[in-house]
Structure 1
């Protein structure tokens, strides 16, 4: 897989993972179906999925070659990007008015 294909795969994976907590009503994707999941659980799942996607990115980087050292700036930027990618799911879950 080429480097640009790996980057594209990682961005699509991050987009799907960032919106998954807002599309799913199960706690940690395994628990019982709920009518409404609290926002605290959704944010906890968002943080957990950030680390999962980061692990996939780390595995892809180690497969491609040497892993580059990252400072706190890298995690600040990628965390902000992950929260930004979660915006469509947040809007769908909390800001769109739907008929019941």
Structure 2
């Protein structure tokens, strides 16, 4: 694996976990209470940024390979697995959400 692949995986991990670690929408807009819909929106935006960056890196390395739906299904599942640690922390271990 090249260095750009490691950077891409690290950024995907950060983008996948960021929605659950900050009380702000997209890390910018303050919210009184952030609900699950906000988290899903941020996950979708983060996945889009990650996919766009992956496409850019692949196009710089050579020709971009056409992908079928299986590739995208696996990529979304991997992104959700990356989000699992912060999801568990936010909804199961965080003391302010108990009760």
TM-score between the two structures when normalised by the length of structure 1: 0.89
Deviation of the 1:99 alpha carbon:
6.7
**Aligned with 2:30 (options 29, 32, 40):** 32
| Bigger share in strand | 2
| 1:59 is aligned to 2:51 | no
**Aligned with 2:82 (options 85, 89, 92):** 85
Larger deviation: 10-19 or 90-99?
90-99
With over 3 angstroms needed to count, the CA separation of the structure-2 counterparts of 1:5 and 1:80, relative to structure 1, is same
The whole-number CA distance in structure 2 between the counterparts of 1:39 and 1:63 is: 36
Number of corresponding residues: 97
Deviation of the 1:31 alpha carbon:
1.2
For CA contacts below 8 A with separation 6 or more, give which structure has more relative contact order.
1
Runs of 5+ consecutive residues of structure 1 not aligned to the other structure: none
**Aligned with 1:8 (options 6, 15, 23):** 6
TM-score between the two structures when normalised by the length of structure 2: 0.90
2:47 alignment partner, SS class = helix
Alpha-carbon RMSD across the aligned residues, in angstroms, is 1.6
| 1:94 is aligned to 2:85 | no
The whole-number CA distance in structure 2 between the counterparts of 1:99 and 1:22 is: 13
